[in-house]
Structure 1
């Protein structure tokens, strides 16, 4: 890419700190779904602001509200202090241009013609002037062509001005879309994922191009998922999560915010760790009874149920009663038994006779 410095040098530097875009309380609802909720964002002249967030956070919807494709349900959008009309072509005429997440070129038109399409908002000639090819229209057309060639030289595609847009490589189609947006001489350009699908070399070229656009005095608001790209590029970064602005600040502040990390990596990261480790922690607990078995044997637990056997039950009580009665009846015989054994120790028959 060849970005010419003369374009940047010829442009007067904007007033520092002047608010170019001021979005206040922007809310967008689709039936019962709130895609954007009460978002405030300011972009100053000569500033590059990044807008990041997970997929489905409402970034592109917010862009559509800024550029008139959607009419916000609540809130207002001001450009240089003036409330923007809710019509896309009037927003472009006011001074805001944009690119899209998906490339939207006129593929069967040449590279030059695509840039001229973006220039038509600055051409003031009417229909009859164009149909009759009046001198005023011819002059305006020559000026538009000259400006378009300057922009093609700015992005490095001047040698492919007569090529069909569909024949350009992907990275050059992205740059052509930016050139078409610049053709309307905007004070603010909105870039929706300008490096999507690019390789590292093309991403670096896009970064240099955006810096060159900023040097021309044009404020930039960019959506991107490449965090390295966005943090190297932007002066400030705002984070959208579920349609709400979570935080806004410089790159270091945003990168170190725990809420941003949780939004990208997932809220349950810290909480899920104990759940994963829980089985490992519970496993020793299951083995614990075997280790603690001696303690349980010593302690009076359910395993000491034999103590109930030792305890007098109904059957044992009955046996004890019988046992108490039996000695009473057999006591004389028990007493005689030893005497007989003493008197006739060698005559077992006599013992039998005595027993009989």
Structure 2
């Protein structure tokens, strides 16, 4: 009898310039509300792409469509040419990892244990192996611990491997969440507001960390409200307004577009999509964030006063 039902190899590395993520016509409706409407987006290997937009633009809903938390009403999402399965754990196994705006760590587990959780999609040992604890189990466990420590060293947390996650400062909790995401050996990392609530020094450290991740050959798609961070970081930036992609291009192109400025100031412009649905889209995004919170266990951000940010 075998119970090894979840055995995955790490995804093959993508060649530089090869499309990693291809979203085509992604639409997400909640009843009569269209939160995301016909969005196309491509991310290539070793590329950093930003996704920005005012509150209620549909950014989190779009992220949830990419990561299997939602099945798009229309359109499709492909990773390295294959249509993604509509289950978040299968999306992770395929090679896509994400973080959340609201930090979701296991508060009462150690820093090392949190990263080991992220290794589950790359572990070959099944139920009986874990029960019997034979040589194969111990070899796999040692390999996972070694890799977890490498990642903690990469993000600067190796010295705190035995600390409880809840005792880390806010900025280090963010780093730990990124390390846990990297533990699944992704080809694409999705970061949802990685600098929310950070001071300038922490933001700069996060920027350097994202560049280092890109240099490892991992593509990055990032949502962020800090425009300076986004425009310094990204090769391309896409702008969502009321669930539709308004413009996509390099930082200079996006910053120079008068429609982007108008959207952030809340001013109407000709052809503005669905402005009357703004409040409903914000409500849908809040629901999406709450639903996503059912993934890992207890969030720890509540223990960090003054870090609440709005979408």
Deviations 1:136-190 (A, max 9, x none): 1111110000000000000000000000000000000000000000000000000
Task: Report deviation, 1:99.
Answer: 0.1
Task: Report deviation, 1:14.
Answer: 4.9
Question: What residue ranges of structure 2 are gaps of 5+ in the alignment?
Answer: 1-11, 270-311
Contact 2:13–2:187 (Cα < 8 Å) also in 1: no
Task: Report deviation, 1:134.
Answer: 1.5
1:246 and 2:246 aligned: yes
Structure-to-structure mapping, 1:150-169, within 5 angstroms:
150-169=150-169
Alpha carbons of structure 1 residues 69 and 13: separation in structure 2 relative to 1, 3 Å: closer
* TM-score, normalising length: structure 1: 0.71
Question: What residue ranges of structure 1 are gaps of 5+ in the alignment?
Answer: 1-11, 270-356
Match of 2:139 in 1: 139
Match of 2:176 in 1: 176
Task: Report deviation, 1:17.
Answer: 1.5
Match of 2:52 in 1: 52
Contact 1:13–1:216 (Cα < 8 Å) also in 2: no
Higher Rg = 1
Aligned residues: 258
Match of 1:256 in 2: 256
- Secondary structure of 1:163's partner? coil
Match of 1:189 in 2: 189
Task: Report deviation, 1:204.
Answer: 0.2
Match of 2:200 in 1: 200
Match of 1:34 in 2: 34
Structure-to-structure mapping, 1:101-116, within 5 angstroms:
101-116=101-116
> After alignment, is 174-183 or 131-140 more displaced?
131-140
| Alpha-carbon distance between aligned partners in 1 of 2:13 and 2:214, rounded to the nearest angstrom | 10
* TM-score, normalising length: structure 2: 0.82
| Alpha-carbon distance between aligned partners in 2 of 1:249 and 1:60, rounded to the nearest angstrom | 20
Match of 1:95 in 2: 95
| Alpha-carbon distance between aligned partners in 1 of 2:127 and 2:14, rounded to the nearest angstrom | 35
Q: Which structure exhibits the higher relative contact order, with contacts defined as CA atoms closer than 8 Å and separated by 6 or more residues?
A: 2
Structure-to-structure mapping, 1:292-303, within 5 angstroms:
none
| Alpha-carbon distance between aligned partners in 1 of 2:191 and 2:96, rounded to the nearest angstrom | 11
Task: Please list every run of at least 4 consecutive aligned residues from structure 1 whose deviation after the TM superposition is greater than 4 angstroms.
Answer: none
| Alpha-carbon distance between aligned partners in 1 of 2:243 and 2:50, rounded to the nearest angstrom | 16
| Alpha-carbon distance between aligned partners in 1 of 2:120 and 2:137, rounded to the nearest angstrom | 12
| Alpha-carbon distance between aligned partners in 1 of 2:268 and 2:249, rounded to the nearest angstrom | 25
- Secondary structure of 2:119's partner? helix
Deviations 1:22-77 (A, max 9, x none): 00000000001100000000000000000000011000000000000001000000
CA RMSD of aligned residues (A): 1.2
Contact 2:14–2:20 (Cα < 8 Å) also in 1: no
More helix by share: 1
Task: Report deviation, 1:13.
Answer: 8.3
Match of 2:216 in 1: 216
